[in-house]
Amino acid sequence: MNTKTGDEDQGVIEKEDLNPAHISDIQFDKAIRYMDHLQHGLIDFLKSPKRTLSVCFPVMLDDGSVKTFHGFRTVHSRVMGPGKGGIRYHPEVNKEEVKSLAALMTWKCALADVPFGGAKGGVICDPKSLSQDELRRITRRFVTELKDDIGPYIDIPAPDMYTNQQTMAWIYDTYDIMHPGKNNHPVVTGKPVDLGGSLGRDKATGQGVFYTTERFLAKAELPKLPSIREARLAIQGFGNVGAAVARLFSDAGAKVIAVSDSTGGICVDNDDALDIETVLEYKKTNGTVVGLPETRTITNEDLLEIECDILIPAALENVIRIDNADKIRARLIVEAANGPVTPSADEVLFSKGIPVVPDILANAGGVIVSFFEWVQNIKHEQWELEEVDRSLRAKMNHSVDQVMMKWHQLNNSHDESHDTDQNPEEKLPPADLRTAALFLAIERLANVTLERGIWP
């Protein structure tokens, strides 16, 4: 996957394939190398998206001009249940990215054992340059274009980058107008609480990252990193997920030493820690974390390379790549964002002994509480926050335990194979946590596909 280009004498430039669909395939292919028992005829089916819808629609902007927008919705799998996945508004949304994020949702739902398949959607737009009225018109028109391709038992959207509770409220309202006389609340999750949203959904992904890290540290016995308390954290991204992560870890006694957003980052030196409420307040007033008094300004690249205990990428994909993986000085990486570490970086980090808790495990809190919201909507219930958090912790702990068990199994069988006189060419390398997590998810999906019976 890595190619060396340029003249060797002038230094080696590494080029990495960052195509999101190729990355999903590489991760999938790596995991199935450990699955001798997988029906080969199923592989292409498990990998390929079921369908992708591309839409194109005009929207009138506030100044009276008309602009054309392009959007996508991919359902990767419906084997476990209706499609489930966020809708992203970003200038760099593209079909390949949406497809690979939908596949990631399939594995995330299967691993978390929630009865959903994977889906994802997005609209190519720059939400920062659009007014609330314009965003509402884009959302309503996008939902109208999706028509009956979304629905409470078909495909259920949720928030993702630059979409939020308000966007979900517009989605619900538009769908409800199109389908009068039904309980349409379960068509979308991440809604405002008084519109059928679940308590705890706003912080659920961050809360899940917290529970995962806590459980992982309790099980993994990392030298010099016994628990979250006193751990020094760097967090990239200070939006829905990053800000919740910062607050939760800080409340638990960790020291958040650096945070960033799209405009850059800030850090404190030595034994200091950022006061997260002050950072939140500053960001609310100034629209950026940069410039907070008594902090040093750093770039997003610097943040990733800072010396710390736990690095939490909570913004974009592909930020830890072949060109900076070797410079990472964290003891542990927990993927709050989707796809922040590339396959080549995975290998570098593995060889450096830096565990990466993968996205499909670490950031599943959002989809798990979305599942709770969907159940509450169907049953016309509202659960207490304590019940939501307790149920989320139980699910996250169970997933971490399963992944750790599978990881040990894969690596023990690898050690045993060393004792045999097996052809060294056929020996599998030690598995990382992502491979163990994907192994479980793919195995579940394959089993359920066969249990349901191949049609006809």
> Taking a C-beta distance cutoff of 8 angstroms, is the pair 278, 295 a contact?
no
Question: Closest approach of Cβ 316 to ligand NAD, in Å?
Answer: 5
Nearest residue (CB) to ligand NAD, 204 versus 254: 204
CA-based nearest residue to 117, from 353, 428, 448, 338: 448
To ligand NAD, the closest distance from the beta carbon of 262 in angstroms equals 4
Residue closer to ligand NAD by CB (options 324, 411) is 324
Is 120 part of the annotated catalytic residue set? Answer: yes
What are the tokens at 83? 């499609």
Beta-carbon contacts of 450 under 8 Å, excluding residues fewer than 6 positions away, are 39, 42
Query: Pairing mode, if any, of strands 356-357 and 329-334?
Result: parallel
Report the residue number, 34 or 107, with the smaller CB distance to ligand NAD.
107
Which residue lies nearer to ligand NAD by CB, 246 or 431? 246
Q: Positive or negative, the Cα torsion across 115, 121, 126, 130?
A: negative
Q: What is the largest CA-CA distance in the chain?
A: 75
Residue ranges in contact with ligand NAD by CB under 6 A: 159-162, 205, 236-242, 260-262, 300, 314-316, 336-338, 363, 366
Residue of minimal Cβ distance to ligand NAD: 239
* Among 208, 222, 114, 235, CA closest to 400: 208
- Out of 120, 255, 283, 395, the active site residue is 120
**Is the Cβ of residue 159 or residue 200 nearer to ligand NAD in the bound state?**
159
* Closest of 220, 162, 116 to residue 436, by C-alpha: 220
Q: Closest Cα to residue 336, out of 302, 311, 370, 368?
A: 311
The alpha carbon of residue 288 and the mean position of all alpha carbons in its chain are separated, in whole angstroms, by 23
CB nearer to ligand NAD: pick between 156 and 225: 156
CA separation for the pair 25, 453 (Å, rounded): 25
Look up residue 320 and give its DSSP letter: B
- Of 396, 338, 390, nearest to 365 by C-alpha is 396
Residue carrying the six token digits 């030690």: 430
Write out the catalytic residue numbers: 120
